[in-house]
Amino acid sequence: MSIRVVLADDHRMIIAALRSMLEKESDIAVVGEAGDGAVLLEVVARTMPDVAVVDIAMPGMNGIEATRRLLAGHPRLNVIALSAYSDRRFVLEMLNAGAKGYLVKASAGDELARAIRAIAQGQTYLCPEVAGSIVEAARGRTAPAGSASANLGRREREVLALLADGKSSSEIAARLHIAVSTVEVHRRNIMRKLDLHNVAELTKYAIREGLISP
Amino acid sequence: MHGIACGLVSAQDAMMQMLFPRLGAKSFIAGVFAILAAAIAGVGYLVFDYQRQSISRDAAEHLSVVAELRAQQVASWMSERRANARMQGRHSFLADEIGRWLKHGAVEGDAAAAIKSRFAAIAESYGYRTVTLVDAEGYPLLSTDQPPEINAAEYRAAAEVMRTGNVVISDFHLSANKDKREPEIDILAPVYAGQHDASPVAVLVFDIDPETSLHALIESWPIPSRSAETLLVGRDENRVRYLTDLRHQKDAQFNLHLPLDQPDLVEAMGLAGQQGVVTGVDYRGVKVLAFLRPIPDSPWFLVAKVDSAEIYAPLQMRAGITALVTAILILAAALTTIAWARARREREEKLQRANTELEERVKSRTADLEKLRQELQALVAVQESFQEEERKHVARELHDELAQKLTVLKLQIASITSVVTARDPGLTRQIQDMSSLLSEAITAVAGIAANLRPVLLDPLGLVTALHELVEEFSERTGVECEFSVHPADLSVDDGLAMPLYRIVQESLTNVARHAQATEVIVSLYRDPAGKITLDINDNGRGFSSVDQSVRKSFGLIGMRERAAMLGGEMKIHSQPGVGTSIEIIIPAG
């Protein structure tokens, strides 16, 4: 039985090219096309495909948002992200949105069919260009952007702990091998983010969060 | 005069600067005028004084000449009379006759009559009033006057003649004639019976009416004068006795006595021994200039005097002229001073007006400039946003038109690759090359487009784009760079996103290029009211605030304009050796 695929991209030429490539594959059937996020939702609802190949940069609702909604409505759907760009942020955003695969358009020619098959089986498929970024992200080098409300950076957490411990700015600076002025900026940012106004509040927060022991 | 005044104003400034930097202009002008007026007045007075003294000298000289002349005349008259009297007493027929008569008893008779008629002849020819013969005891024997009389003074004088054998001229006195007391002078001469006798036998007394003899000599003044006169004065115990008729007071002769102790009375001065030129008052109490000269061999004094008023009369006119000229000069000085002060004031006013005008112009020019600056700022802002729009448009075109087509091309090549290589394996390489070339082209186009507009910005928003920018920067430069944002879901309007991104991009470029920092923190914060604060802090070299070249080269000026364009402001703090912080504040709304 063929894998049923929906293609979404705002450029007709791209869709035409992808379709013609996939038509050669006997186990893949293109069952729908969409030019933007809204149409995509509707097409998926209508055709109930196995895999959706979604371009990130679509007008109106972009691919990331569309992916989230699709998966919210159709949890068993597998989404492959398609993008002209390999920027790691795109990759992470799409993966966070629930996509299982990421392809760079220019290399799609060889890999699209393979990716679809892999995804259909529940695997993850990342083209080589983006795989490296993911590895780095896995290693914790890339900080995820905006999720929790009190989102302190790594350094900020370190400074917070020392502040709550009663250390002065120069002591903190010496400890962390950074400039005193840098410590001051971190302190200010921490106060802003946590809406704290003095050391007492700061200490309470630190205890609450388990950064220091009472 | 105006020209002089203008010239003076310039000179005055130079002088004032040099001499009296603190003195007010008004007091300076007043001072100069005062000095000038004083100088003119002083010169005027000196001229006047010189003239007065010159007149004085001339008058004194004139008086002295006259006095000298008259004194000489009096002296010579006296010596002539003395000689004559002596001759009568010794070397004359009269003396012989008198000697004989006395020897024969001195009786009345023809001899006496003959002597008397000789007396008359002598009196007439020599101008004597009376001639009297006095014997050795002082008893008057014969006279032209009947009866022969002598007074006490004549008696004493006769005794002196008898004793000394000298001719004596008596002082002025009133005549012995009781009816007519007239001033007279006696000349007493010893009579010698024989020419070679040693002692006299009798005394001849010749009375002279000084009026006829003496006065004519001295009373006339050589040149016409209103008040000048010469007088002869003598001492009468402690009084001045006027011996000649006075010009200004008739019948004063002998009748006017003035005390000797009046110090400014010129006649008294003479009798006190003073000689030469003196000033004082005369018998009338009128101020005079006088020349005092003693008559030698006599107790008398000659006074040649002239009223001060008369000699100084021409002086008055001259003084008047001098005063007038002085007044005119002072007036001219005053007018010049006034013109000077006025020119000065005009100049000050002109200066003031020019100043005010200048200030006005500067003010209006500054206002114009301010307006222009604001317009320029607005223009720059509009231009900036146009540019960004343009770039956005071009980037999109590149992506949509070019990149996509190239991608499609690559896809199509990929799709025919297997068919072609199956049919003609020799083309495999060529097809691979084509594919590679296309990949490069796609990458190149993507790069160009990314330079024009950051790829992440529109799809993913400012916060994500900044995260990526900061991380890329960190990885590229090795500088520890952090991005701190709050709230985490902060999003900004499209119009704000690109400029803020650019600001951060440029700041990081600056840090990389100049700061030599090891830590950079980019913070984006929106407060509950909606005010957005973006700041970039580094721990680098910093720069001092006076370092204008830094500001220019770092594009800080442009950044400030960008911030202003967004309706916000930019603050920079930098401390050399500590670090730099750039803060952008965009108010809510």
Chain B nearest-CA residue for A110: B414
pLDDT in tens, A187-196: 888 888 888 8
Separation CA B279–CA B311 (nearest Å)? 12
> Does the residue B565 lie in any domain?
yes
* B570 in any annotated domain: yes
Q: Which of A182, A191, A196, A197 to mutate to test the interface with B (most CBs of B within 10 A)?
A: A182
Q: How far apart are CA A79 and CA A65, in angstroms?
A: 12
Q: How far, CA to CA in Å, does B325 sit from each of A24, B319, B515, B524, B553?
A: 134, 10, 87, 94, 79
Apex CA B396: angle with CA B392 and CA B402, to 5°?
Answer: 140
- Antiparallel, parallel or unpaired: β B229-236 and B140-143: unpaired
pLDDT at residue A40, rounded to an integer: 94
User: Which pair of tokens denotes residue B134?
Assistant: 């006095």
In a domain? residue B499? yes
**Is there a domain that residue B579 lies in?**
yes
Residue B521 · residue A182 · CB < 8 Å: yes
pLDDT (average), residues A194-200: 81
CA distance B489 to chain A (A): 6
List the single residue in B with minimal CA-CA distance to A57. B459
Partnered with residue A4 across adjacent β-strands are A29
Any domain includes B465: yes
Q: How would you classify the pairing of strands B579-586 and B532-538?
A: antiparallel
State in Å, rounded, how far the first CA of chain B is from the last one.
Answer: 73
Contacts of B535 in chain A (CB under 8 A): 185
Distance between CA atoms of residues B267 and B241, nearest Å = 9
Higher per-residue confidence, A99 vs B229: A99
pLDDT at res. B232: 83
- Provide the angle, in degrees to the nearest 10, between the axes of the packed helices B93-103 and B110-126: 150
What distance in Å separates residue B586's CA from the closest CA in chain A? Answer: 17
In a domain, B576, yes or no: yes
Q: Hey, are the CB atoms on A14 and B408 less than 8 Å from each other?
A: yes
What's the domain count of chain B? 1
What is the model's pLDDT at position B256?
Answer: 67
Return the CATH number at B474. Answer: 3.30.565.10
B407 contacts A106? CB cut-off 8 A: yes
pLDDT digits (tens, 9 = 90+) for B118-160: 888 888 888 888 888 888 888 888 888 777 877 887 888 888 8
Q: Cβ–Cβ contacts within 10 Å for residue B577, how many?
A: 8
Give the Cα separation of B294 and B271 in Å (integer). Answer: 8
Whether B126 is covered by a domain: the verdict is no
Q: What fold characterizes domain A154-208?
A: Arc Repressor Mutant, subunit A (1.10.10)
Strands A3-8 and A51-55 turn out to be: parallel
Report the run of H or E that residue B291 belongs to, with start and end.
Answer: strand B287-294
The CATH number fitting domain A3-138, selected from 3.30.70.1230, 3.20.20.240, 3.40.50.2300, 3.90.1170.50: 3.40.50.2300
pLDDT of res. B176 = 60
pLDDT at A204 over 90: no
pLDDT per residue, tens digit, chain B (589 aa), is 667 666 766 776 676 666 655 557 778 888 888 888 889 889 988 988 888 888 888 888 988 898 888 888 888 888 888 888 888 888 788 888 888 888 888 788 888 888 888 888 888 888 888 888 888 888 888 888 777 877 887 888 888 888 888 888 877 777 666 666 677 788 888 888 877 778 888 888 888 877 777 777 777 777 777 888 888 888 877 777 777 777 776 666 666 677 777 778 878 887 788 888 888 888 888 888 889 888 887 888 888 888 888 888 877 787 888 888 888 988 888 888 888 888 888 998 999 999 999 999 999 999 999 888 878 877 877 787 888 889 999 999 998 889 999 999 998 898 888 888 889 888 889 999 999 999 999 999 999 999 899 988 888 889 999 999 999 999 899 999 999 998 888 888 888 899 899 999 989 998 898 888 889 999 999 988 889 999 999 988 887 766 656 555 556 667 887 888 888 888 888 888 888 899 999 988 6
Please provide the distance, in angstroms rounded to a whole number, between the alpha carbons at the two ends of chain A.
62
| pLDDT for the residue B97 | 84
Of A20, A185, A193, Cβ closest to residue B537: A185
Cβ pair A211, A164 in contact under 8 A: yes
pLDDT of residue B252: 60
Cα separation, B482 vs B480, whole angstroms:
7
Using alpha carbons, list the distances in angstroms from residue A11 to A28, A35, A53, B453: 21, 7, 13, 20
**Per-domain boundaries in chain A:** 3-138, 154-208
The range of the structural domain enclosing residue B546 comes to 454-589
B472 occurs within a structural domain: yes
E strands present in A56-152: 78-83, 101-104, 125-126
Mean pLDDT of A24-47: 92
Residues A115-164 have pLDDT tens digits of 999 999 989 999 988 888 788 777 765 555 543 335 788 888 888 888 88
C-alpha distances in Å from residue B510, one per residue of A106, B127, B453, B481, B566 = 35, 143, 20, 14, 21
How far apart are the C-alpha atoms of B161 and B174, rounded to whole Å? Answer: 20
What the block records as the tokens of B73 is: 């005349």
Nearest CA in chain A to B445: A84
Among candidates A94, A86, A14, which has minimal Cα distance to B447? A86
Q: What pLDDT score does B522 carry?
A: 95
Considering only residues 11 to 40 of chain A, which have any Cβ-Cβ distance to chain B shorter than 8 Å? 11, 13-14, 16-18, 20-21, 24
A25 φψ region: left (φ > 0), alpha (ψ -120 to 50), beta (else): beta
Which pLDDT belongs to residue B175?
A: 65
H-type alpha helices, B398-493: 404-423, 428-452, 457-460, 462-477
Task: Provide the 10 A C-beta neighbour count for residue A193.
Answer: 22
Crossing angle of helices A180-194/A169-176, nearest 10°?
110
For residue A132, what pLDDT is reported? Answer: 81
